[in-house]
Amino acid sequence: MTDTSAPIVTADGTPLKKKLDQAMFRSRRNAFLLVAPLLAFIIASFIIPIVVLLTQGVYDSSFRKQMPTVATFVADWDGQGEPSEEMMQAALTDIVVGLTIDRSIPTKAAVRINREVSGATSMIKKLIRATGKWKIEYEGKEQRLSDVFRNMEDEDDSGVTLLDESERRAIGVTLAKAVIAQEAPVKAKMIKADKKWADIKYWQAMKVASKAASPAYLAAALDYNYSHDGEFQQRDEDRRIHVKLFWRTLEISLIVTLACLFLGYPIAYLLSTLSVRSSNLLLILVLLPFWTSLLVRTTAWIAMLQAQGVMNDLFVVFGLAADDDRFSLIYNKTGTLIAMTHILLPFMILPLYSVMKTIPPSYVRAAKSMGATNWTAFWRVYFPQSVAGIGAGALLVFILAIGYYITPALVGGQDGQMISNMIDFHMRKSLNWNLAAALGMVLLVFVLFLFWIYDRVVGIDNMKLG
Amino acid sequence: MKLKALLLTAAATSIAATASADITVVSWGGAYTKSQVEAYHKPYAAKTGTKIISEDYNGGLAEIKSQVEAGNVTWDIVDVEMSDAVAGCDQGLLERIDPSILPAGADGTAAADDFIPGTILDCAVANIVWSTVFAYDSTKMANAPKTIADFFDTSGFPGKRGLRKSAKANLEMALAADGVATADIYDVLETPEGVDRAFAKLDTIKGDVVWWEAGAQPPQLLADGEVAMTTAYNGRIFNAVASEDKPFEIVWDAQILDFDLWVIPKGAKNKDAAMDFLAFSTATEQLAAQASWISYGPARKSSAPLVGNYATKPDLAMGPQMPTSADNMATAIVNDFEFWADNGDELNERFNAWLAK
């Protein structure tokens, strides 16, 4: 009788369990090494940039660096009452130091404040212009401040500035002290340069801007104002836009997904039942637009749908529309829906087709032979087997649709715009990348939430791409 | 063998690209870039032997910002609108330009006096004056619109309207159409009531508007009959009329004057060559030469007397086509870039919300 408690060993005497673990480890390591390049690529080119950019939506320390004295001061300030001489001196110090280091620092800070309240740009620029004319004793001679700042940027022949940043900062601090000693009290002079300096709301805006980690941009992305005392107020009716666009994005994406399903299902069914020869031909017809540039397809829809376009001409010929009262099929939501449905249709047809091809026709025949009507055979036998394809196609189309922006931008007019168009606007036009990041973050959370619901309701395992 | 040859060619071209001091000049494309190629690039290349790579873009500072922040600036000199030149300088995205590199005018006037006041900035030098006007197709309008009020009058002048999809220019034109004197436009727009008034005026035509974004779109919208009238950059309409014989007419009432300026992104690889190109291209003769290719006014006063006829149609005088000609200037509005630097964020937000309503 053998001892069952002794471990099973391999030919060379090592326990089988250990040997197995080693083999498993090797194969896992090899598998990991095989995917490592892809993983590194995704982390470096996808995950890190996204995280870095999204961080901008909740973290913006630029104002603290540009106006450190003001930032420290307003942190302990209750946000009430008249701006004091001390506050004015803090602002003047930061502006003089900033200008000494790099003449764009105070205007950068101004752009940040201006996002909270309009008018800050000219408030700071007027002060820069006014102080530039002040004369100051520097390097043994009396000169205009603006000339002092300009000379800070003197370069040697190879284009390197003569003074490095820390040297200029030190000079700036000395200069600021000298300016304030010479010009104090500065409050009246600053208000004379621009009366907005006396207005408390600009100082409250600086308080908001001075918080590095702040929900200000996220609040703006949801049409709220984040005030200096940490409260959220909904924006004025005529400035609310983002929430409306999020809902519209959801609405358009759902309609496009459903339209793709209704149009794509019969085509996929036809493709899967035809002879190989004719189904290949049909598949090429499906794929041909898929291979055509997105811009070309969108522009083609403009030619088709515009007021003087092909469709409207046909409607007029057949008497469906009057010549001077044609249908508005483009530059509105209708245009966005039509063009997006067409462009995304292949993403629905292909997964459906690949699933339907694997459904044996004998099942439906068996159902019918046992007395099922055409409808029952389809609905009870065929359709449940195609659900995996529907799940894959619908998710694919929906996720692609929710981030669409070129097509809505070209054919969407005013009511066919989606949230991505607003992100694009803040990336390219207003250069408010922080708000764009905040909007992107809300969209990402929104999509992940929908994905979670999808997983709970349909189940991600029920998806089949082919 | 084939692969080896391909690699060698690729290596050779990449070496060539780094060795020569080519400069990359970025502008708005179409007829406008062509006018610059003819008036600036070709003579500059002939004079200095520098190779100029011309790239197109669609305005805005996004590309400059991303290049500067990534520390990899591939554009050397860019043609931007006034508001972007100011904003770019404010945000530290642009090199400062020493105005002493600008040559005196052909008549000997110092550059500082020769340029139109306010067109030499810390980080930018203007080359042209352009304007936003409105235009219509004369074969399709029974009676010709004369004033900006007619543009907003859809019962007297039926048909769709084309407008640029941005707050700028539209709000000014709306107020002018509502009876505000052109000199008071920005004072009125500074007040909340003024903004409400402008949006209320835009509301009256909102249902009939087709929005455009790129400068090439409005002439196309007119040609397709998509709109009866549209706002547009005056040079684009001129080009459609002069070189494509389109029956378009420009209405100069309440035109909005603006400038295009050269800027150099901070950290441009060929900064010195770009500065040299900037000084060359904004000299009297070059600006005058450009005006014979497109109907944008030169930014130097000394160029005006030298402006001749249209380059490809020698019997067409360019003078009257300029936004700056006396006849066209009567009710012009000069774009107030400081106003837009202050209020652009808020007004664009409101404009976008208004659009989506």
Q: What is the pLDDT of residues B35-44, one digit of tens each?
A: 999 999 999 9
Q: Which two tokens stand for residue A7?
A: 């471990």
Please give the Cα distance from A240 to B43 (Å, whole number).
52
- The residue type at B4: K
Please give the Cα distance from A92 to A134 (Å, whole number).
13
Query: What would the mean pLDDT of A79-96 be, rounded to a whole number?
Result: 92
Please give the Cα distance from A374 to A355 (Å, whole number).
21
Query: What would the mean pLDDT of A324-328 be, rounded to a whole number?
Result: 83
Which pLDDT value is given to residue A356? 93
Say if the Cβ atoms of A248 and B356 lie within 8 Å: yes
Say if the Cβ atoms of B350 and A239 lie within 8 Å: yes
- The residue type at B14: S
Look-up of token digits 């000014």 = B172
* Three-state secondary structure call for residue B81: strand
Cis peptide before A185, with omega less than 30 degrees from 0? yes
pLDDT in tens, B262-275: 999 999 999 999 99
Nearest to A220 by CA among A209, A45, B158: A209
Backbone angle region of A157, left / alpha / beta, with phi > 0 → left and psi within -120 to 50 → alpha: alpha
Pairing of strands B52-56, B77-81: unpaired
Say if the Cβ atoms of A244 and B206 lie within 8 Å: no
The residues that bridge with B212 in the sheet, in sequence order, are B164
* Three-state secondary structure call for residue A166: helix
Give the confidence band of B179 by pLDDT, cuts at 50, 70, 90: very high
Say if the Cβ atoms of A241 and B346 lie within 8 Å: no
Please report the number of interchain residue pairs, chain A to chain B, with beta-carbon separation below 8 angstroms: 100
Class in CATH terms, B131-257+330-356: alpha beta
Enumerate the H helices of chain B as residue ranges. 2-19, 30-36, 42-48, 62-70, 82-90, 111-114, 148-151, 170-177, 185-189, 192-203, 217-223, 234-244, 271-281, 284-290, 326-329, 337-356
Q: Is B346 on the interface with A (CB under 8 A)?
A: yes
pLDDT in tens, A140-157: 888 999 989 988 877 776
Backbone angles phi, psi at A361, to 5 degrees: -65, -20
CA distance B343 to chain A (A): 5
pLDDT in tens, B17-41: 444 579 999 999 888 999 999 999 9
B313, pLDDT greater than 60: yes
CA distance B314 to chain A (A): 35
Which pLDDT value is given to residue A2? 52
Angle at A61 between CA B351 and CA B86, to 5 degrees: 45
Question: Which has the minimum average pLDDT: A6-20, A84-98, A437-451, B311-325?
Answer: A6-20
Pairing of strands B52-56, A232-234: unpaired
Q: How far apart are the first and last CA of chain A?
A: 54
Per CB-CB distance under 8 Å, the chain A contacts of B62 are: 427-429, 431
Question: pTM of the full predicted structure?
Answer: 0.86
Q: Find the closest chain A residue to B348 by CA distance.
A: A430
CB-count burial class (<10 Å; 0-12, 13-18, 19+) for A25? exposed
Please give the Cα distance from B174 to B161 (Å, whole number).
13
Say if the Cβ atoms of A308 and B226 lie within 8 Å: yes
Mean pLDDT of chain A: 90
Please, which contacts does B31-34 make with residues 24 or more away whose CB atoms are closer than 8 Å?
B31/B235, B31/B236, B31/B239, B31/B243, B31/B293, B31/B294, B32/B215, B32/B235, B32/B294, B32/B296, B34/B293, B34/B294
Q: Is B61 on the interface with A (CB under 8 A)?
A: yes
Which pLDDT value is given to residue A210? 93
The residues that bridge with B259 in the sheet, in sequence order, are B129
The contacts of residue A391 (CB under 8 Å, 6+ apart) are: A458, A462, A463, A464
Per the CB < 8 A criterion, the answer to whether A380 and A372 are in contact is yes
Say if the Cβ atoms of A103 and B96 lie within 8 Å: yes
Please give the Cα distance from A60 to A57 (Å, whole number).
8
Partner-chain residue, chosen from A111, A114, A241, that has the shortest CB–CB distance to B352: A241
Please give the Cα distance from A402 to A247 (Å, whole number).
11
Angle at A50 between CA A49 and CA A53, to 5 degrees: 80
Q: How far apart are the first and last CA of chain B?
A: 63
Query: What would the mean pLDDT of B147-174 be, rounded to a whole number?
Result: 94
Give the confidence band of A462 by pLDDT, cuts at 50, 70, 90: low
The contacts of residue A409 (CB under 8 Å, 6+ apart) are: A417, A421, A424, B213
Mean pLDDT of chain B: 90
Per CB-CB distance under 8 Å, the chain A contacts of B206 are: 414
The fourth-level CATH superfamily of domain A242-462 is MetI-like (1.10.3720.10)
CA distance B293 to chain A (A): 29
CA distance B62 to chain A (A): 5
B79, pLDDT greater than 60: yes
A437, pLDDT greater than 80: yes
B277, pLDDT greater than 50: yes
pLDDT in tens, A286-305: 888 888 888 899 889 988 99
Residues of chain B with CATH 3.40.190.10: 2-129+259-324, 131-257+330-356
Say if the Cβ atoms of A414 and B206 lie within 8 Å: yes
B10, pLDDT greater than 70: no
pLDDT in tens, A272-283: 988 888 989 999
Per CB-CB distance under 8 Å, the chain A contacts of B224 are: 306, 308
B180, pLDDT greater than 60: yes
Q: Is B208 on the interface with A (CB under 8 A)?
A: no
Residue A277 CA from chain centroid, whole number: 44
Which pLDDT value is given to residue A19? 86
Please give the Cα distance from A223 to A227 (Å, whole number).
13
Suggest the residue from B224, B345, B348, B355 to mutate for an interface test with chain A (most A CBs closer than 10 A).
Answer: B345
A162, pLDDT greater than 80: no
pLDDT in tens, A23-35: 899 999 999 999 9
Say if the Cβ atoms of A107 and B349 lie within 8 Å: no
The two counts, helices (H) then strands (E), for chain B are 16, 12
Say if the Cβ atoms of B226 and A307 lie within 8 Å: yes
Per CB-CB distance under 8 Å, the chain A contacts of B352 are: 241, 422, 425
Q: Is B108 on the interface with A (CB under 8 A)?
A: no
Domain-by-domain residue ranges, chain A? Answer: 1-50, 63-211, 242-462
Please report the sign of the dihedral spanned by the C-alpha atoms of residue A363, residue A364, residue A365, residue A369: positive
Please give the Cα distance from A169 to A100 (Å, whole number).
7
CATH of segment(s) B2-129+259-324: 3.40.190.10
Which pLDDT value is given to residue A5? 65
Which pLDDT value is given to residue B1? 43
pLDDT in tens, A221-267: 999 999 988 899 998 888 899 999 999 999 999 999 999 999 999 99
The residues that bridge with B128 in the sheet, in sequence order, are B260, B298
Q: Find the closest chain B residue to A305 by CA distance.
A: B226
Which pLDDT value is given to residue A464? 64
Say if the Cβ atoms of B353 and A239 lie within 8 Å: yes
Give the confidence band of B231 by pLDDT, cuts at 50, 70, 90: very high
Which pLDDT value is given to residue B8? 47
Which pLDDT value is given to residue A64? 93
Nearest to A291 by CA among A349, A355, A348, A343: A343
Query: What would the mean pLDDT of A91-100 be, rounded to a whole number?
Result: 94
Q: What is the DSSP string of A218-232?
A: HHHHTTEEE-TTS-E
Number of C-beta neighbours around residue A299 at 10 A: 14
Give the confidence band of B308 by pLDDT, cuts at 50, 70, 90: confident
Per CB-CB distance under 8 Å, the chain A contacts of B154 are: none
Partner-chain residue, chosen from B60, B342, B344, that has the shortest CB–CB distance to A428: B60
CA distance B204 to chain A (A): 15
Partner-chain residue, chosen from A104, A239, A427, that has the shortest CB–CB distance to B349: A239
